[in-house]
Structures are given as structure tokens and as C-alpha cells.
Structure 1
Amino acid sequence: MTDQTATRRDVASFLTRNGWVPDRGGLIGELWRPTAAPSGSAIAVPYELDAGTAEYRAVIARLADHAAVSLQDMADEIEREFRDIHHYKIGDRFVVDESVLLDSASTVLTNARRMVRAAATTARKPRPTIGANYSPPGDAFAAQMRLSHTRRGSFVLPVVMPVEPPELSDGEILGDRTAVEPGERRVTRTLAAAVAAINSVVVVPDREPTTDDVIHLIQSGVSSEIVAAVRAIATDSGVQSLDIRFQWAPGLQAPGGIPERVVIPDEAATVLSRVERKLKRSRPETSESLSGQIVEIRHVPDEPMGEIAIRTIRNNRSAEVRITTPADVIRSAYDWAKQSRAIIARGNVVTSPGRPLSIPRPEQLQPIDELFAAPH
């Protein structure tokens, strides 16, 4: 995809999301009108649109005028359409003349990269420790991360993950095809869940994690490498906390159940060290855990059992796995899917020639966020 078509894609997604529809197309572009005021002025959007051209500035100016916002705010909003962003904040008391210690900023960025790389691997397969066994496809996603520019005021380092527009699944939920979570979103969603789980399961209760706690951490995407990176940021003398906020690309539905902001103070260093050691000593589960979004639900009314299908990664390949489950879970699954909550399923995966992968007798089936949302 060229920069011109990507920019046009972002503009078209923004317009669609905000109630605009294309009126008619010509040789070089389309006219878009707001559905709330179809008789109002249309905006001409070229099929190819470069962010540095007069045509692009004209589109931004018309949209900014329509929304009653500044040109810069409108340009920023469209730029974010397909970008997930982690904002790493350095506390105001460490900011002097709008600058921070170089070593502290370096610590944040180095360990942000470590967290992203580890999450890109655990997003494909939960594991307590990675060592040298990073996933090459995961590394390819992690390599797409970019550092954006900071804003005046609070010192925040924005780390950006460009995401692809979602494809639609083959299956349906309540008659609608599901937008499939792209791989880039899966990485950031896994990192967000992992950091939230560390905070909820380990830091807030401030105690040695139980065996079940460790399992929940691993299923949430936590590895010893992520814990080590969190601790390194939180204990840096010029930072003294991991303060991270996630801003989801508006062109995709935000993942449900994940807190927008997590703050882990340096006082958590001791318990984080214990968790890191415990994860390094953990052994893989005997049954398989798979995570992903619900892409299809099958249930015949009045039947006691039904099936949900999740899109996941297995053996380094994208796969759909069908899970047999009671009718009461099926009813909950419709809400989980609507809220875009990622699901964890554990059990023995059955493979049969010519048939989809399945877990006919799951040991566990629930939203991942339930692993760290409940009090511990």
C-alpha cells in the first residue's frame, strides 16, 4: 500500500465512522456527505491523497470547519485512525525545563521495546519465560513499532503501533460478520492485558503469587521478560514508576475489559522480582491454552450445548478453534463478542483431517480480563 492510498484509507475510515457516506465517484475521487445533513456541502476526497499536498490540506480544512476544531486537531485525529499508541509518562517532578534525564528516557524506551517484543511472542503462545526463543513472526510485528514526538506539558513518550484495517470473518454472529483482530492489535492488546494482570494479580495485593495466580499471569500474556522490563522502568531513579496509558486506534473497536491506564510504583520492586523468579521456574501446562476473539457462535434454540469459534495463533499459524460449551455460556459469549473481549480457552485440542480444530471438553473458557479483574 502506498502512502497516498494509506492516507486516503485513513480519511475514508474517519468519515465512515463519523456518519459520512460517499455520494458518487468520478475519475479521480468521490464526494462524501454527512448523513445527518445530506443536503449540506459535500467534501471531495481524491482516490489518492498525500498528506503533504494542497488537496489533503483542503480536505482537513473542510472537516475541521465542519467539526469546529483546529486544523492540527483534525489532522492528528485522522493520523491516529489506524494507530495503537502506548503513552509512557515520566512524572512531573522529574521534568525540568521540559526535559528529563537522558538515562531515564533511555531506560523507558529500551524496556518499552523489551515489553513489546516479549508481548509479540506471548501473543502467539503463552509461556512463562522466553529466553532465546522469541517468535520470528512476533519479532516482525514488534519491528513495526515507532516512537512518535512528545507534546508540550507533561513528559510523555508515545510508542506507536500501526495497525492494518480488520478483515471480516467467514462466520457470523447474530447475522453479522466479525471484524477480525489484526496481528498488530493482538500484540498491543496482549501487552495491555499483561501489564494490567501484573498490577492486579501481583502489585495491588503485594504478596507472593499462588500457583493459580502464575497460571493466570501466563494466560494473560505475562512472561518473566515483561516483568523484568516493568521493574526496570519502575525502579529507575529518574522515573520511579511505570505509568502507561493505552490509546486504541479509532478505526477498530477497542478491546473490552482492559484498563486504559496502569501505574506500577517503584515500591513494587521486591514482589516483581519474586514473580520474575517464579515465572522462570514455571513449567508449561499439560493442557493447551489458546486465546483470541470470538468470530462465530453456533447454537440451536433449546439445545443444551453449542459452539463458539475463536480466531487464534497455533503452531505459528492463524487458526479457528471451535469450543463446545453449555447454552448459558453461549448466552454470555454473545456479550463477550459484542464487547470485543479476548477469550482464553484451555483443554485438549482435537485435530481431524478435513475438520476444524476443536476443544470438545474445555477445562476453562472465559474472557482474559476476568483473570485479572476480580479481587485477589
Structure 2
Amino acid sequence: MSEALHPLQLGSFKAWLTQHGWESVSRGQVGELFSFDVAGSSEITTSDDPGTRVGIPDDLGSDPEITAGVIERIARAMRREVSSIRHFVASPLRDQVELHLKGERLKAGAVPLDVAAEALKNSRRLFSSSGTSALAPGWTVARRYRREAQDLAKETELGHTKDGSFVFPFYVPLNRDRVATLFDVSETKIEPFERRTTRTLATGLQTARSLVERDVEGLSDEELNIASSVGLTKELCSSLHLMLTSEVIDEVQVNFEWSPAFGATNSLPTEIVIPRSERRQLKKLKRRLSQSEPVVSKVYSGTIRSIGHVDDDIGLYSITLDTSYKQEAAQLEVLLSKQQHDMAWPWYTDRATVVVQGTAARSLGQLRMDRPDRIEAWTDALF
């Protein structure tokens, strides 16, 4: 690396280490010493292994040789590929999405070229459709692909596949706009469009996985509206269906490794497995989403930007949701009862995806909803 990391980026990298079993044990004049938590890790490592302690200089990145040594020690302790750790050091503001093609016949060490090409083509389609859905939710994207989503799909990087496996690692940059990194740690960390895209991709995939286990034909329009608000689209179902077409593929697994730069990510999926046996159900779900969307009360989803009280005397509270309105990013103020406010507080601290249903209107230039018909956090159990 030719220049030192920005201090806030270094903080994000240290937060990532902490999330993955490392602990800060001491602080010196030139840096911080971290120890790998062997007991709390599933990795096979001995406690007397010198690789389990690593010093992180405050100017990490300024000296390529020192940086390379730090990366190698971290990778050795965690039993990870050096290249995967290097990505987090070089640019901690990334989300990593790994697409695994899995099947008994792949153990021979080869995959048909058209299968690999189909996986890459549809991976790009997943990013494009999810980015569009993040701004303009709907049952189908059709010809409404957003330029921002297509640009992000182009700029997402493909890393090296792991030896002996068909794993395609994608790195989604979260700091394409350098200004987005210049926040104070005490401030609310507003998610950039890139994180909204990966969040929408993850919740959309997990929602599809949940719905294919049910009677797809029996799903109500309201359920499909809620599902589409968190990223489910006809295009997402179609991409999964195409990836599972070949008989050599038994299942597709998608893993997410979230950057800690924009707050808690515990509410988001980290592993989603779609078996080939669900292809027929995916096709049915795709067909349902191809139908005309009904006119119903609007569903909005997003993370909570702020939470507070409007009037203590009458027990009126509110949240402000980062969402979309008329195919554009928007903020929606939702008025809540005290019970709803208490319920929403952990959603705010956990940075959970929240779903609200009701009628929103513009009031004094702001989008506002009085007493939602429905409000809950996105989880697998939502469906």
C-alpha cells in the first residue's frame, strides 16, 4: 500500500478483528496489541502459537513490509487465506459476498464452463436488481434498472476462488464517495447506497428461501408486497433458478461478511443455502411475481435513522426510517405508541431492517405516517 489508512478506516478494521475473535490486550506508543480468542473461535489453533498475538501499528499501511507481516500473522492465526485478510486491510469499508457452487460432481475439481459463466452473469444480475429494489421496491424490476445499481454491479470486484472449491468472492466497496468515511464515531452512521444494496440482497435471498418452503400459490398479495419491500423480486428468483439449472449443482450457498463501519450487523444474514430441490418452487414464485402488482396500502422498509419522543404527555413517539418513496431515497417519520417505541428501540441499536405498512403523506415538506397498520423488524420468521 502506498499510503497509510485513514484513521477511521483503521478503526473499522480493528472493529472487524474484534467481531471475529480478536481482543485488544494492551496499548503502546506506536500501536495496539491484539490477541486471538482461541477459546471463542471455531478455528483449530494452539494457545501458545505466537501467531495468535499481533501488533497493529497506528500507521498501518504506510510500510508495505510491516503491513504484509501483520496480514500474514492474522491470516495464520485465523486459518484464512492471506488474500481475504488483505482485502480488509487495504479497504476495510467493504462488504464481502461469497457465492458457493456445491455438488458431489464438483469434487473432481472441474465445473462446466457454461455453469461458471451462468453463475457470474446471474451474480451481476443479483447486484443490479437488489440495488434497484433498494431504491424502488417492486415485485419485478422489469426495465426499471437504476443506473446507480448497474454502476455498482460493474464496480464490484471479483476475488480469487479458493483452492479446491468453486467459491466466487465479491467485494462491494462502501467508500466510493470518500466523504462517506468522514463521520465521528459518536454520530449516527447513515448507510451508503452500497450497503443498502448488500442488505437488500441478503434479506431478499433469505426471504426467497423462506417462501419457497411454503405453498407459493397460496401466498397473499400482502405477503408478496412485504417480501418485495425487503428485496424479493422476480429477477432474484430467476437468477437463483438459472444458477441451479445444471445437474452438477446440488445447492448454491451465499455467505455475507459485513463491514462494521456502519454499525451493528447482527440482524443481517451471514449464510443462505438454496438447494436444487427448490427450483420448482422458485419458478412458481417467479411466476407469482410476474403478475400485476395489486393496489394496496404502501409498505416501506429500511433502517431507523433516529428514534425519540414527540409528546410525553400523550405518549406519542416516532422513528425516522431511511427508505424509498416514488423510486427515490427518502426519510419517513412514523408516529408510534410507547409500546411500539419500546419495541423499536433494539431495532435501532441493532441496525435492523424495519418494515412498516400504512398510508404515508407529505406534511410540511416531510414524508410522514400516522400510526402504522403494521410495524416489525425483518427476520426469517416474518414470513
TM over 0.5: yes
Is structure 2 residue 135 aligned with structure 1 residue 124?
yes
Residue 342 of structure 1: how far off its partner (Å):
1.1
Query: Equivalences for 1:246-265 in 2 at 5 Å?
Result: 246-265=256-275
Q: Once the two structures are superposed, what CA deviation does each residue of 1:268-294 show, in whole Å capped at 9, x if it has no partner?
A: 222222211111113154433222111
Aligned to 2:111, what secondary structure does the other structure show?
coil
- Aligned 8 A contact 1:124 1:138 in 2: no
The separation in 1 between residues aligned to 2:70 and 2:137, in whole angstroms, is: 47
Amino acid across the alignment from 1:82: L
Give the match for residue 31 of structure 2: 32
Give the match for residue 307 of structure 2: 297
- Aligned 8 A contact 1:235 1:241 in 2: no
Give the match for residue 13 of structure 2: 14
Amino acid across the alignment from 1:208: E
Which of 192, 198, 201 is equivalent to 1:182? Answer: 192
Give the match for residue 144 of structure 2: 133
Residue 104 of structure 1: how far off its partner (Å):
1.0
Q: Once the two structures are superposed, what CA deviation does each residue of 1:286-317 show, in whole Å capped at 9, x if it has no partner?
A: 43322211121112556422001112233454
Aligned to 2:96, what secondary structure does the other structure show?
strand
The separation in 1 between residues aligned to 2:149 and 2:352, in whole angstroms, is: 21
Is structure 2 residue 116 aligned with structure 1 residue 105?
yes
Residue 364 of structure 1: how far off its partner (Å):
2.2
Residue 107 of structure 1: how far off its partner (Å):
1.3
- Aligned 8 A contact 2:106 2:248 in 1: no
Residue 363 of structure 1: how far off its partner (Å):
2.2
Residue 227 of structure 1: how far off its partner (Å):
0.7
The separation in 1 between residues aligned to 2:163 and 2:6, in whole angstroms, is: 26
- Aligned 8 A contact 2:55 2:70 in 1: no
Amino acid across the alignment from 1:185: R
Query: Equivalences for 1:1-376 in 2 at 5 Å?
Result: 4=3, 10-15=9-14, 19=24, 31-34=30-33, 44-46=57-59, 49=61, 55-62=63-70, 69=77, 76-80=84-88, 81-164=92-175, 177-201=187-211, 203-211=212-220, 212-299=222-309, 303-353=314-364, 355-369=365-379, 372-374=380-382
Distance 1:216 1:318, change over 3 A: closer
> What CA RMSD, in Å, does the superposition of the two structures yield over aligned residues?
3.5
- Aligned 8 A contact 1:32 1:45 in 2: yes
- Aligned 8 A contact 1:321 1:357 in 2: yes
The separation in 2 between residues aligned to 1:14 and 1:141, in whole angstroms, is: 23
The separation in 1 between residues aligned to 2:14 and 2:115, in whole angstroms, is: 40
TM-score by length of structure 1 reads: 0.80
Q: Percent identity?
A: 23
Amino acid across the alignment from 1:225: E
Residue 251 of structure 1: how far off its partner (Å):
3.7
Residue 347 of structure 1: how far off its partner (Å):
2.4
The separation in 1 between residues aligned to 2:144 and 2:165, in whole angstroms, is: 37
The separation in 1 between residues aligned to 2:262 and 2:244, in whole angstroms, is: 31
The separation in 2 between residues aligned to 1:228 and 1:159, in whole angstroms, is: 20
- Aligned 8 A contact 1:98 1:152 in 2: no
Distance 1:266 1:65, change over 3 A: closer
Bigger mean CA offset, 92-101 vs 360-369: 92-101
The separation in 2 between residues aligned to 1:169 and 1:44, in whole angstroms, is: 22
The separation in 2 between residues aligned to 1:70 and 1:275, in whole angstroms, is: 40
Amino acid across the alignment from 1:324: L
Residue 96 of structure 1: how far off its partner (Å):
4.8
Q: Once the two structures are superposed, what CA deviation does each residue of 1:131-155 show, in whole Å capped at 9, x if it has no partner?
A: 1111122222222222111111332
Residue 360 of structure 1: how far off its partner (Å):
1.8
The separation in 1 between residues aligned to 2:274 and 2:359, in whole angstroms, is: 36
The separation in 2 between residues aligned to 1:308 and 1:115, in whole angstroms, is: 30
Amino acid across the alignment from 2:143: A
Distance 1:135 1:16, change over 3 A: closer
Aligned to 2:268, what secondary structure does the other structure show?
coil
- Aligned 8 A contact 1:234 1:266 in 2: yes
Amino acid across the alignment from 2:64: Y
Runs (5+) with no aligned partner, structure 1: 25-30
The separation in 1 between residues aligned to 2:246 and 2:174, in whole angstroms, is: 31
Runs (5+) with no aligned partner, structure 2: 19-23, 36-52
- Aligned 8 A contact 1:121 1:135 in 2: yes
Give the match for residue 28 of structure 1: none
Residue 6 of structure 1: how far off its partner (Å):
5.8
Residue 75 of structure 1: how far off its partner (Å):
6.4
Residue 337 of structure 1: how far off its partner (Å):
1.2
Q: Alignment length, in residue pairs?
A: 352
